[in-house]
Amino acid sequence: MSMTLKDVLARYPGAQTFKFGDSARMSAELLALVRAGRKTATCGALRDYPAGSLEMPAVGRRDVALEWDDRPAVVIETVDVTICRFCDMTEDFALAEGENETLEGWREDHRRFFERNGGFDPEMELLCERFRLVEDVAVEG
């Protein structure tokens, strides 16, 4: 049975929606890592989360990650939220993002991502979120 976004949001009241990455290809790759259990963390530039914004992850809240075409993909539950400067990123968190084998690889990929999306500074603050996969709600076919 296929679930629409409306169905998913009815099941998870208060959930926010978001997309991983900044392209269809990156989004699909990151969702695959979440589904495989390899990606249990994500981060974004703190500047993209104005104080009090609903997009700010909240511990215990369940949110819906969307496919690039806005179909619901997975439901995650935020388990931890911290703020960390890019230059202070830990290897533990970087590896929990599941995209790289090393902290150096994480730094290179994320520097390029932030350069494409609003600018990069080694001391920029990142909103770091750890999460767990609650449900895969992707529509088959």
What pLDDT shows up at residue 140? 58
What pLDDT shows up at residue 54? 85
39 half-sphere exposure, CB direction, 13 A CA radius: 23
Q: With b meaning 16 or more CB within 10 Å and e meaning fewer, what string describes 116-136?
A: eeeeeeeeeebbbbbbebebe
What pLDDT shows up at residue 75? 98
What pLDDT shows up at residue 139? 61
What pLDDT shows up at residue 141? 44
Judge contact between 76 and 131, C-beta under 8 A.
Answer: yes
**45-80 tens-digit pLDDT:** 999 998 888 889 999 999 999 999 999 999 999 999
In order, the DSSP letters of 82-133 are EEEEGGG--HHHHHHTSS-SSHHHHHHHHHHHHHHTT---TT-EEEEEEEEE
- Domains of the chain by start residue, with CATH: 5-136 (3.10.400.10)
Taking only the tens of pLDDT, the chain with its 141 residues reads 568 999 999 999 999 999 999 999 999 999 999 999 999 999 999 999 988 888 899 999 999 999 999 999 999 999 999 999 999 999 999 999 999 999 999 999 999 999 999 999 999 999 999 999 999 998 654
